[in-house]
């Protein structure tokens, strides 16, 4: 094969993918600050829809979908991170598929031996070592075959018509990158006084929304290519009820407090003030209607379920330690990537003290919203 053909092939691949994907994995390992030990909030969300997920698969998955091999199911968890959360999700899906086949067997159908090919997907920097060290025994038997897929889920990761069930939870808040304009001093969307999208400044909100629609659109299109016709995509996540501003939620209050701590560190000469002004979290809590718009625009899926579900911890007031640990595990990588490794302990020590002095009034905060979506790939 000639060098010219190889180079043109690589150029074509590059043009098909986003030009820049920022990477900010959860804290790896199994230490006290790791995501493994500080993801109980996410775990509670997953547990709250265990039965709903089971019922949805039983009711909506057609075992006779075209182009599917009935004895082999391919399952993908997009944005798996590490620890038991993703393993519990996949186990629930596998057990449900087995039950589905048992029900069909009573009708005289589908008595084949089942095998499951499971794909755990996250950014290359994700701690896949910890994930695979914690695989339970049933992944070591002859029916479940697991592998890691280290790449951004904003890309197409699998061949067309190859995945039977896709799943993602608490991931679509993460953008592929921060909107350029919010970090640009010469832009009306420069987000100088905040580190996140508060929904308070119109230009900033517009820039974040534009990036979200681009990224969410890429995610949905990639899954539309990968899922078999009739295949299911299960999405669990957080958004804002229509009309609620992020700054009014307790999570928005937390991000503001962390931003204040960064600015205090700049004033103390610990970090550069310009660095703080140019720092923005690549996170966006969409309005509920924005989710619907992107999915409907794609046109490849029927929306079987799209509803609000109550988070088990929705009405709780969290301790300072819980809040600090949860947010440190989640945004450690972003902070370190922008400011360097020497600021983490100082930042979260200051944040803990600030929380102690200025407790969050959870009852006074507006609530964000947990949603459950079931999409079915249309049969064309």
The C-alpha R_g of the chain, in whole angstroms, comes to 22
Q: Coil, strand, or helix at residue 95?
A: helix
**Pair 291, 371: CB distance under 8 Å:** yes
Rounded distance, CA 167 to CA 157, Å? 14
pLDDT of residue 107: 61
Max Cα–Cα distance, the chain, nearest Å: 74
Rounded distance, CA 148 to CA 130, Å? 12
Q: Is 83 left (phi over 0), alpha (psi -120 to 50) or beta?
A: left
pLDDT of residue 12: 39
The total of structural domains in the chain comes to 1
**Pair 375, 232: CB distance under 8 Å:** yes
H-type alpha helices, the chain: 3-16, 40-48, 50-60, 84-105, 128-133, 202-226, 250-267, 273-277, 288-298, 320-339, 344-357
Q: For residue 313, with 0-12 CB atoms within 10 Å meaning exposed, 13-18 middle and 19 or more buried, which class applies?
A: middle
Other beta carbons less than 10 A from residue 26's beta carbon: 24
- The CA-CA-CA angle for residues 121, 123, 127, to 5°, reads 85
Rounded distance, CA 306 to CA 186, Å? 40
> What token pair was written down for 46?
């997953």
Task: Look at the alpha carbons of 133, 135, 136, 138 in this order and tell me if their dihedral is positive or negative.
Answer: negative
Rounded distance, CA 307 to CA 218, Å? 22
The interaxial angle of helices 288-298 and 202-226, nearest 10 deg, is 40
**Which backbone phi and psi does 122 adopt, to 5 degrees?**
-165, 180
**Pair 234, 59: CB distance under 8 Å:** no
Q: Which residue has the tokens 């660095």?
A: 275
Residues contacting residue 237 through CB under 8 Å, at least 6 positions apart: 168, 169, 170, 171, 172, 173, 370, 371, 373
Separation of CA 114 from chain center: 29
Parent domain of 202? 3-377
**Pair 142, 171: CB distance under 8 Å:** no
pLDDT of residue 21: 58
Per-residue tens of pLDDT for the chain, all 380 residues: 434 433 443 343 344 444 445 666 777 887 888 888 888 999 999 999 999 999 999 999 987 654 455 588 999 999 999 888 999 999 999 999 999 988 876 565 555 678 999 999 999 989 999 898 888 766 666 689 999 999 999 999 999 999 999 999 999 999 999 999 998 899 999 998 899 999 999 999 999 999 999 999 999 999 999 999 999 999 999 999 988 999 999 999 999 999 999 999 999 999 999 999 999 999 999 999 999 999 999 999 999 999 999 999 998 999 999 999 999 999 998 999 999 888 999 999 999 999 999 999 999 999 999 999 999 999 87
Strand partners, 309: 370
Q: For residue 332, with 0-12 CB atoms within 10 Å meaning exposed, 13-18 middle and 19 or more buried, which class applies?
A: buried
Rounded distance, CA 57 to CA 231, Å? 10
Provide the CATH number for the domain around residue 211: 3.40.50.150
> What token pair was written down for 212?
């979200």
Tell me the whole-structure pTM to 2 decimals. Answer: 0.90
> What token pair was written down for 364?
């006074």
């Amino acid at each position: 094969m000639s060098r010219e053909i190889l180079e043109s092939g690589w150029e074509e691949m590059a043009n098909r993918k986003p030009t820049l994907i920022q990477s900010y994995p959860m804290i790896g390992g199994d230490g006290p600050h790791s995501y493994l030990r500080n993801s109980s909030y996410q775990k509670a969300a997953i547990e709250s829809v265990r039965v709903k997920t089971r019922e949805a698969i039983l009711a909506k998955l057609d075992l006779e979908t075209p182009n599917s091999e009935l004895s082999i199911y391919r399952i993908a968890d997009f944005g798996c991170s590490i620890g038991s959360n993703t393993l519990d999700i996949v186990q629930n899906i596998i057990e449900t598929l087995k039950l589905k086949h048992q029900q069909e067997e009573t009708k005289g159908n589908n008595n084949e031996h089942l095998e499951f090919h499971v794909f755990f997907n996250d950014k290359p920097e994700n701690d896949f070592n910890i994930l695979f060290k914690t695989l339970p025994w049933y992944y070591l038997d002859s029916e479940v075959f697991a592998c890691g897929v280290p790449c951004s889920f904003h890309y197409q990761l699998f061949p067309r018509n190859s995945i039977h069930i896709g799943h993602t939870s608490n991931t679509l808040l993460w953008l592929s990158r921060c909107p350029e304009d919010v970090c640009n001093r010469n832009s009306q969307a420069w987000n100088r006084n905040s580190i996140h999208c508060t929904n308070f400044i119109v230009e900033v909100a517009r820039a974040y929304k534009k990036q979200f629609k681009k990224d969410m659109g890429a995610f949905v299109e990639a899954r539309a290519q990968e899922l078999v016709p009739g295949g299911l995509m299960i999405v669990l996540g957080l958004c804002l009820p229509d009309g609620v501003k992020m700054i009014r939620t307790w999570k928005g209050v937390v991000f503001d407090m962390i931003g204040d701590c960064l600015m205090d560190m700049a004033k103390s000469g610990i970090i550069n003030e310009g660095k703080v002004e140019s720092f923005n979290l690549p996170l966006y809590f969409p309005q509920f209607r924005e989710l619907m718009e992107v999915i409907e625009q794609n046109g490849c899926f029927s929306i079987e379920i799209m509803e609000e579900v109550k988070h088990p911890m929705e009405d709780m007031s969290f301790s300072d330690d819980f809040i600090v640990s949860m947010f440190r595990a989640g945004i450690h990588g972003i902070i370190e990537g922008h400011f360097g490794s020497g600021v983490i302990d100082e930042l979260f020590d200051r944040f803990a003290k600030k929380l102690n002095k200025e407790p969050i009034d959870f009852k006074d905060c507006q609530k964000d919203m947990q949603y459950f979506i079931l999409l079915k790939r249309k049969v064309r």
